[in-house]
Amino acid sequence: MSASTDTATLAGSQRPSRLRLLEPITILWVALIAALLVLVALPLLKMFVISFEEQDTGVFTIQNYLTAYGRQRYLDAVRNSLLLGTLSAAISVVLAVPMAWAVSRTDMPGKGFTWAIVLAAFIMPPYLGAIGWVLLAGPNSGWINVVWRSLTGATDPLVNVYTFTGMAFVIALHSFPLVFIFVKSALDLISSEMEDAANILGGGTWVTMRKVTLPLVWPSILGGFILIFLETIALFGTPAIIGIPARINVVTTQLWQFFEDPVRVEVASAFAMPLLLVTIGLIAVQKLLLARKGFVSQTGKGGERRQVKLGPWRWVLFGWCVLVALLSVVKPLMVLLQASFAKAWGRGFSFDNLTLRNYQFLLFEHDMAPQAVWNTVWFSATSATIAVVLALLVAYIVVRRLIRFADALGFLAMAPFVIPGIVMAIGFYAAYAGPPLSLYGSALLIILAFASRFLPIAYASSQAAIRAVHPEMEEAARILGSGRLHAIRKVTAPLLKTSLLGGWLVVFIVASRELSAAIFLVGPRTRTMSVLLYDLTEQGNFEVVSAFGGILLVITMAIVGIGMKLVGRDFMLRRE
Amino acid sequence: MFLLGRRQALALAAWSATSSQAWANAPLTPREQELYEAAKREGEITWYSGQYSADSSEAAGRAFNARYPGVRCNVVRSTSQVAFQRLSQDARAGVGQCDVLSSTNSGHLLQLKRQNRLTQYRPVNADGMLPAIRVSDPDNYFQTTFLGIFVMAHNTNLVPEADAPRSWTDILEPKWKDKLAVGHPGYSGAIGIWALQMRNMYGPDYLRRFEANKPQVGRSSVDPVTMLNSGERAIAVATATGTILLSASRGNPLKPIYPSEGVLAAISPSGIIRNAPHPNAAKLFMEFQTGPAMSMAVRELFADSLRPDVPPPQGSRPLDQVTLLSPSMEEAERGVPEIREQWREIFGI
């Protein structure tokens, strides 16, 4: 009797002490897990589940897979996407690696210029580049072909954008900055001693570059290659603008067809599943390729980094950079600007063809354009904030190893990195568009999708930044009686301000131009600039489309300008 | 398929020139007044439309806002198939966002009616429309709001009028290889109707022979106009007269061709969606579309007027001088998804 009373009192006294064990950090951990489940795991899980469900009844079936893969045309779309991804990534590597090497390791002139071009190519949305190249390289009317014909008298076009290689090339022209960033930052770390060793053993500049320098940055090249491959197979705008006239069906345009009436989310999910397998496979291949070799270039023993003297060759490399600049930025931008100020772009440049009407129409007469501009700004800002806050907390827990299974958090935060944007959008549609939440068309749904899609960018930058802050500064605060969250707020966060702002800006910029994740989620009042731009491209009015593209670029450039002012001019190209 | 009889066509063309700008500012009818009061409480109306061109749709939206201050029209303009796809996505998610759907594929509205997804409403203003288009659905689930006349066009710099094709079969000749441009039935409602009409008239082989000439495929029926303006292609196939005339008025070298067999008449309806979030504003919008105010607004941009009291746009051919071709609504509902699939098999996209 007394024993049982004892237990009761014991239990009674234990309960509050257990609650006291529940540190705020544990609650935070639970909240973070919940957030990541909502943002990353649930949409994918839901998509996986419904890919095996019959529409309306929900009965288990594999019919969706049979439908999705039961036609030659659908299989062709998969093949086309894989080829397109590979080709675009390969062209990007060819474009970017010499530039990265030249900027990082040599005495090539015009490094600032090259750097600016890479930045410009990065902030230009790919579908704008595609429109620019339609104006440049249409087989009959493209400027390049018109000039070519008048110079040579030839009848055949020199270049044709409406081809497989044409499309891959246009995509590569706006993807190569990723390879550049990856490879340049790896090259920056290699000390000249390794190259000196090769030189001493009789290798010239080229042999050394080929046999020593480049192999050392092989992981970065591969990383950039895979990233571009993933971005390419998820692109929607360029295949719609160039691929349809070129008659090339790809996975994204095919997924769009599954959303025709009657909407077959189940079949679309089944069709998208192998894409996920491909990306997971690629990451595995990357791990395998890199596993057995050492790529350590940072030894902690200092080592100086000298520039390779190229002699006259430096002008050849500079010429290469100028060429890439012309193709990726200068020319498309010129034709877009010309078209945006033209009454009829087909008439070319003349003073009586100039007008501000296109801008005036969009800014003052168009029902949706100003709304879309505002949507883009606040969706991007909100999703960037969510992503950065979430990433910061996760990174903090992971880096400081505050709890067990912290790595699981990190894994979830990085997972969207390998999920094509359009697949993510279908997952969000499947999970949250309908009842019980019925978020379809709401701003919240789009913001969550953006935050999820770009979480890895924010996470990577937060992680690197937190690593760089030694825990002893926080510990000092804690010794003086501050709680952990208080210490984070007062000590760690201020130290990280600059890098966090950098991460925020990068997420803002990529979110402001995102099309494929938005296209299945927007409603009438929540269209973003990218979606409205896509709608405008099917209305046969390139002048207005170009003007809207001009407005988008001005906004992005303003943000980039602010970023440079606040964070330093290399904030977008820094890879921590 | 049906051909409008000569009498109907005459009636259709019995425009009178008595109207003026005053129509747009005319006082509201009692029905409009009543709906307007109710609509003001709803504040807005969302219009998914694939009928009028981007410019004309925006102009219509602005005219609505001017006529009914306090009720705002959200213009969601896309191609008709895309508009219908958005509506399907809404329905699949169980979310009501659209008040009025306007499509160039009349089969869309017939399907929605059959699935009991439309609200019955007979606009009073419809009584003042051209007699031939006054009644679109005997049960009043939808109403004609767009009279699209789809023809061909040529770039006058590249192809002089004497050499231009004259009929829908002329463009099958090998000499037009790599010179044609057309929209896509997966996006444009009108192109679906057109392809169906061609198959009905010339058999299943028509599309295959058309494809042999490698037309440049865009998405919208408007896309070919861009391709002609730039000189990328010379002949536009199945493009609305309004678009061609508007573009030509801006200085582009374009001219419409009225094919000898007749023009494709997309007599296109709009309907109120059953779960419309703004039901009164939706009814008001139907009154607006069938009334003189919208015809006045779109006429300025060369779209055809729906009413005898609003004159047709400048430069368009009077409708009593052309034969109007069109499949029936039932054929459209059944046939367009079918022909879209055939198109994809033949064109690969």
Spans of all domains in chain A: 87-292+309-339, 360-576
Quote the minimal CA–CA distance from A431 to chain B in Å: 10
Do the Cβ atoms of B251 and A343 come within 8 Å? yes
Per-residue pLDDT tens over the stretch A163-211: 999 999 999 999 999 899 888 888 887 778 878 888 888 888 888 888 8
Q: B15 falls in which pLDDT band (50, 70, 90)?
A: very low
| Inter-residue contact B288 to B35 (CB < 8 Å) | no
Chain A partners of B252 at a C-beta cutoff of 8 Å?
344, 346-347
Interface test mutation site (partner B, options A53, A73, A140, max chain B beta carbons within 10 A): A140
Cα separation, A233 vs A251, in Å, equals 7
Read off the tokens for A361. 């129409």
Chain B partners of A520 at a C-beta cutoff of 8 Å?
89
Quote the minimal CA–CA distance from A38 to chain B in Å: 18
Do the Cβ atoms of A141 and B345 come within 8 Å? no
Q: Mean pLDDT across the stretch B46-63? A: 92
Chain B partners of A258 at a C-beta cutoff of 8 Å?
none
Helix (H) / strand (E) containing A81:
helix A72-105
Q: Which among A73, A343, A539 has CB closest to B54? A: A539
User: Least CA distance to A531: which residue of chain B?
Assistant: B78
Interface test mutation site (partner A, options B75, B95, B214, B340, max chain A beta carbons within 10 A): B95
User: Least CA distance to B64: which residue of chain A?
Assistant: A367
Q: B135 burial class (0-12, 13-18, 19+ CB within 10 angstroms)?
A: middle
ipTM > 0.90 for the complex: no
Do the Cβ atoms of A538 and B250 come within 8 Å? no
| Inter-residue contact B144 to B133 (CB < 8 Å) | yes
Task: Kindly tell me if the per-residue pLDDT of B79 is higher than 80.
Answer: yes
Q: How many CB pairs under 8 A join A and B?
A: 155
Q: Mean pLDDT across the stretch B211-218? A: 95
Mapped onto helix, strand or coil, the DSSP state of residue A342 is: strand
The CATH number corresponding to B149-264+328-347 among 3.40.190.10, 2.40.37.10, 3.90.1150.10, 3.80.10.10 equals 3.40.190.10
Do the Cβ atoms of A540 and B88 come within 8 Å? no
Chain A partners of B75 at a C-beta cutoff of 8 Å?
367-368
Q: Residue A66 to residues A69, A268, A270: CA-CA distances in angstroms?
A: 5, 12, 9
| Inter-residue contact A176 to A121 (CB < 8 Å) | yes
Do the Cβ atoms of B222 and A435 come within 8 Å? no
CATH architecture of A87-292+309-339: Orthogonal Bundle (1.10)
Do the Cβ atoms of A135 and B230 come within 8 Å? yes
Do the Cβ atoms of B95 and A345 come within 8 Å? no
Per-residue pLDDT tens over the stretch B90-106: 998 888 999 999 999 99
Number of Cβ within 10 Å of residue A521's Cβ equals: 27
Q: Which among A263, A366, A524 has CB closest to B88? A: A263
Q: Between residues 288 and 327 of chain B, which touch chain A (CB distance below 8 Å)?
A: none
Per-residue pLDDT tens over the stretch B223-240: 999 889 888 999 999 999
| Per-residue pLDDT, A570 | 65
Chain B partners of A140 at a C-beta cutoff of 8 Å?
231-233
Do the Cβ atoms of B232 and A435 come within 8 Å? no
Do the Cβ atoms of B92 and A263 come within 8 Å? yes
Do the Cβ atoms of B218 and A433 come within 8 Å? no
Do the Cβ atoms of A524 and B58 come within 8 Å? no
Chain B partners of A162 at a C-beta cutoff of 8 Å?
216
| Per-residue pLDDT, A169 | 96
The third-level CATH classification (topology) of the domain covering A360-576 is: MetI-like fold (1.10.3720)
Strand partners, B149: B265
User: Least CA distance to A137: which residue of chain B?
Assistant: B232
Q: A355 burial class (0-12, 13-18, 19+ CB within 10 angstroms)?
A: middle
Q: Where are the domains of chain B?
A: 18-146+268-308, 149-264+328-347
Quote the minimal CA–CA distance from B198 to chain A in Å: 21
Q: Which among A76, A162, A365 has CB closest to B58? A: A365
| Per-residue pLDDT, A9 | 45
Is residue B61 within 8 angstroms of chain A, CB to CB? yes
> How many Cα neighbours within 13 Å face the side chain of A71?
14
Cα separation, A189 vs A295, in Å, equals 11
Q: Between residues 136 and 175 of chain B, which touch chain A (CB distance below 8 Å)?
A: none
Cα separation, B291 vs B270, in Å, equals 14
Q: B19 falls in which pLDDT band (50, 70, 90)?
A: very low
Q: Which among B222, B344, B348 has CB closest to A539? A: B222
Cα separation, B306 vs B291, in Å, equals 9
Taking the model in full, what pTM does it have? Answer: 0.87
Do the Cβ atoms of A247 and B347 come within 8 Å? yes
| Helices within A211-328 (DSSP H only) | 214-216, 218-234, 237-238, 251-258, 265-291, 313-325
Cα separation, B149 vs A226, in Å, equals 49
Quote the minimal CA–CA distance from B281 to chain A in Å: 16
Do the Cβ atoms of B89 and A433 come within 8 Å? yes
| Per-residue pLDDT, A2 | 43
Percent of chain B at pLDDT > 90 equals 77
Do the Cβ atoms of B92 and A343 come within 8 Å? no
Mapped onto helix, strand or coil, the DSSP state of residue A87 is: helix
| Per-residue pLDDT, A20 | 55
Q: Among residues B109, B103, B275, which one has the least CA distance to residue A438? A: B275
Chain A partners of B73 at a C-beta cutoff of 8 Å?
367
| Helices within A124-217 (DSSP H only) | 126-137, 143-152, 164-173, 176-187, 192-200, 205-208, 214-216
User: Least CA distance to A525: which residue of chain B?
Assistant: B74
Higher-confidence position of B279 and B19? B279
Chain A partners of B219 at a C-beta cutoff of 8 Å?
240, 244, 537-538
Task: Kindly tell me if the per-residue pLDDT of B22 is higher than 60.
Answer: no
| Per-residue pLDDT, A267 | 93
| Inter-residue contact A367 to B75 (CB < 8 Å) | yes
Chain B partners of A370 at a C-beta cutoff of 8 Å?
none
User: What burial letters (b/e) apply to A225-258, b meaning 16+ CB within 10 Å?
Assistant: bbbbbbbbbbbbbbbbbbbbbbbbbbbbbbbbbb
Quote the minimal CA–CA distance from B183 to chain A in Å: 9
Do the Cβ atoms of B231 and A139 come within 8 Å? no
Chain A partners of B90 at a C-beta cutoff of 8 Å?
440-441, 523
Chain A partners of B61 at a C-beta cutoff of 8 Å?
367
Q: Can you list the residues of chain A whose pLDDT is less than 50?
A: 1-14, 575-576
| Inter-residue contact A333 to A121 (CB < 8 Å) | no
Pairing between strand B263-273 and B142-155?
A: antiparallel
| Inter-residue contact A129 to A334 (CB < 8 Å) | no
The third-level CATH classification (topology) of the domain covering B18-146+268-308 is: D-Maltodextrin-Binding Protein; domain 2 (3.40.190)
Is residue B275 within 8 angstroms of chain A, CB to CB? no
Cα separation, B332 vs B195, in Å, equals 10
Percent of chain B at pLDDT > 70 equals 93
| Per-residue pLDDT, A473 | 81
Chain CA centroid to CA A554, Å: 20
Chain B partners of A240 at a C-beta cutoff of 8 Å?
219
The sign of the CA dihedral A556, A560, A566, A572 is: positive
Q: Which among A346, A366, A440 has CB closest to B95? A: A440
Cα separation, A100 vs A92, in Å, equals 12
Do the Cβ atoms of A541 and B226 come within 8 Å? yes
| Per-residue pLDDT, B1 | 39
